[in-house]
């Protein structure tokens, strides 16, 4: 409980910094889970650079983009009724999610040094599956998030659920 109160104080004092650092930390945790539990690499074979890439993606891309998106979405569709939450979820999943994944996957490829041709081929191969998998998880999560969670906590809630999603994305983004 003390940790939660400390998080709330930090979030109130420095909302943007805390949201970005939370996203980076949880992206890194997702990659660690991917490498250790999904891929079973073991500590000797753990790719620290890959984890740092995912932390960088969380701090430099996911946190700012998703955090900014929630602010825009809340201005565009103000309110917290069930209908408002449904509208936000439809816009989030119909417009934002496809664009976000279409940027995320090739950006990881660039950070991993992939050629433009290999990155394009990988995007064509992995994007449809990633988007369909997105639709299994995120509509229900986002509907609850938009209806029940105050704006300044939405990124943190999503990133906690996203530890599992980040593990999947890290695995998908790093498959060759």
DSSP of 83-127, one letter per residue?
HHHHHHHHHIIIIIHHHHHHHHHHHHHHHTT--HHHHHHHHHHHH
pLDDT of 75 > 80? The answer is yes
In the chain, how long is the greatest CA-to-CA distance? 50
Q: Which residues contact 144 (CB under 8 A, 6 or more apart)?
A: none
pTM beyond 0.75, yes or no = yes
pLDDT band at 162 (very low <50, low <70, confident <90, very high): confident
The reported pLDDT for the residue numbered 10 is 93
How many residues does the structure list for the chain?
176
In angstroms, the CA 155 to CA 168 distance is 18
Span 66-91, mean pLDDT? 94
pLDDT of 176 > 70? The answer is no
Q: Which residues contact 101 (CB under 8 A, 6 or more apart)?
A: 127, 130, 131, 134
Span 131-150, mean pLDDT? 93
Q: Where are the domains of the chain?
A: 1-174
∠ CA 124-130-136, nearest 5°, is 150
In angstroms, the CA 20 to CA 67 distance is 8
The reported pLDDT for the residue numbered 173 is 74
pLDDT of 174 > 90? The answer is no
Span 55-74, mean pLDDT? 93
Average pLDDT over all residues of the chain = 91
């Amino acid at each position: 409980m003390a940790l939660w109160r400390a998080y709330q104080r930090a979030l109130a004092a420095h909302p943007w910094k805390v949201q970005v650092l939370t996203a980076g930390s949880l992206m890194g945790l997702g990659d660690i889970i991917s490498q250790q539990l999904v891929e079973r690499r073991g500590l000797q074979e753990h790719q620290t650079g890959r984890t740092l890439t995912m932390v960088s993606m969380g701090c430099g891309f996911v946190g700012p983009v998703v955090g900014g998106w929630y602010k825009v979405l809340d201005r565009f569709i103000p309110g917290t009724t069930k209908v408002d939450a449904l509208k936000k979820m439809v816009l989030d999943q119909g417009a934002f999610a496809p664009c976000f994944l279409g940027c995320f996957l090739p950006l990881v490829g660039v950070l991993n040094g992939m050629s433009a041709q290999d990155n394009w081929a990988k995007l064509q191969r992995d994007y449809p599956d990633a988007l369909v998998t997105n639709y299994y998880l995120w509509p229900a999560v986002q509907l609850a998030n938009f209806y029940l969670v105050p704006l300044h906590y939405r990124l943190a809630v999503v990133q906690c659920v996203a530890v599992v999603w980040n593990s999947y994305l890290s695995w998908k983004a790093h498959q060759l």
